[in-house]
Amino acid sequence: MNIQDQKLFKWRHFQSEIILLCIRWYLRYAPSYRDLEEIMLERGFSVDHTTIYRWVQHSAPELEKRARPYLKAYNDSWRVDETYIKIKKAWMYLYRAVDSDGQTLEFLLSPTRDAEAAKRFFCKVLHTSASSAPQTCPIEELVVLLIAPAETTTSTRLTPRVINVDKNAAYPKAIAELKAAEILPNAVELRQVKYRGNLVEQDHRFIKRLTKPGMGFVSLKTAWRTLQGFEIMNMIRKGQVQGVAKGDVKGLVALVATLFGVAVSTQQAESFPPHFVLF
């Protein structure tokens, strides 16, 4: 385990394997924190549910950050839609985009559902890379990043051929403004046909199933941290990370351990591509 990973698990009273087990189960399946507390107690570990909550809050964004450089390239046909997430008894909006193969492109949590929120989301998708821009980055800063020479080796495509959305009037306005600002090429086609969004609406179900046991989030910050973990774990589950096929449970387990510098078996390590850094 390197210095960075030692800091990540510093002052923890449990072994890193136990911590990652709880984090992985919470982000991948649909238990509540109290459910996980009971499950761990059955296995002889007394872990308070608030402790597991802190582990998830601390490590979920880190998991997304570490997994992103290994995401596979997606295609240029996008499906964009938003779903509702309850935060402090108020509904907020989770913007999500997938390609025509069902691969998750990007996601953004927003308190508003308007043209400005749509523009922020499209800019975030366009800038998706190994060093993904934060969701609060202003449009002007993203423009600079988009026109600057690429410094990343990621193979992710940045420019769509077609964007499929529903009848939300905010999308055409956002696309028009992005084209006027030369952030999007004029050749990008916008399609407002309801049935074309079925793919992304079906993909919402996995995220909604995970958020339901928690009965809503207490703050925008905790919601965003948790959603980062839900989304990246969903992407790994769907086979979007190099070296881990769709439905490869053992590969998923080994990948998460490897990304956090926890020892994996030689057989598991050999399943990853050569460019994976094993700590």
- End-to-end CA separation in angstroms for the chain: 6
Angle at alpha carbon of residue 249, lines to 80 and 16, rounded to 5°: 100
- Window from 7-21, 64-78, 186-200 with minimum mean pLDDT: 7-21
| Beta-carbon contacts of residue 121 (< 8 Å; ≥ 6 apart) | 80, 95, 97, 106, 108, 110
> With contact defined as beta carbons under 8 Å apart, do 44 and 15 qualify?
no
> With contact defined as beta carbons under 8 Å apart, do 219 and 90 qualify?
no
CA–CA separation, 171 and 230 (whole Å): 25
- Window from 64-68, 167-171, 252-256, 272-276 with minimum mean pLDDT: 272-276
Written as one letter, the residue type at 225 is: R
| Beta-carbon contacts of residue 183 (< 8 Å; ≥ 6 apart) | 122, 123, 126, 142, 143, 146
pLDDT recorded at residue 199: 86
What is the band of 64 on the pLDDT scale with cuts at 50, 70, 90?
Answer: very high
Question: What is the dihedral angle through the alpha carbons of 206, 209, 212, 216, rounded to the nearest 10 degrees?
Answer: 0
97 vs 273 pLDDT, higher one: 97
Residue (of 204, 203, 226) closest to 32 by Cα position: 226
274 vs 8 pLDDT, higher one: 8
pLDDT recorded at residue 48: 95
109 vs 208 pLDDT, higher one: 109
What is the band of 7 on the pLDDT scale with cuts at 50, 70, 90?
Answer: low
CA–CA separation, 273 and 252 (whole Å): 14
> Is the per-residue pLDDT at 14 higher than 70?
yes
What is the band of 237 on the pLDDT scale with cuts at 50, 70, 90?
Answer: very high
pLDDT recorded at residue 5: 52
Tracing tokens 């460019």 back to the chain, one arrives at 275
CA–CA separation, 192 and 183 (whole Å): 20
> Is the per-residue pLDDT at 138 higher than 70?
no
> With contact defined as beta carbons under 8 Å apart, do 255 and 236 qualify?
yes
Please count the other Cβ atoms lying within 10 Å of the Cβ belonging to residue 7: 9
pLDDT recorded at residue 35: 94
pLDDT recorded at residue 3: 41
Q: Which segment, 12-16, 37-41, 69-73, 202-206, is predicted with the most confidence on average?
A: 37-41
What is the band of 201 on the pLDDT scale with cuts at 50, 70, 90?
Answer: confident
How large a percentage of the chain has pLDDT more than 90? 59
**By CB neighbour count within 10 A (0-12 exposed, 13-18 middle, 19+ buried), where does 145 fall?**
middle
Give the domains, in start order, of the chain with CATH numbers: 3-69+242-269 (no CATH), 74-210 (3.30.420.10)
79 vs 273 pLDDT, higher one: 79
List pLDDT tens digits, range 68-124: 999 998 899 999 999 999 998 899 999 999 999 999 999 999 999 999 999 999 999
Tracing tokens 């030692």 back to the chain, one arrives at 6
List pLDDT tens digits, range 248-264: 999 999 999 999 888 65
Mean pLDDT of the chain: 81
270 vs 69 pLDDT, higher one: 69
Residue (of 35, 21, 85, 37) closest to 257 by Cα position: 21
Residue (of 119, 35, 101) closest to 235 by Cα position: 101
197 vs 162 pLDDT, higher one: 162
Residue (of 269, 235, 266, 233) closest to 251 by Cα position: 269
> Is the per-residue pLDDT at 141 higher than 80?
no
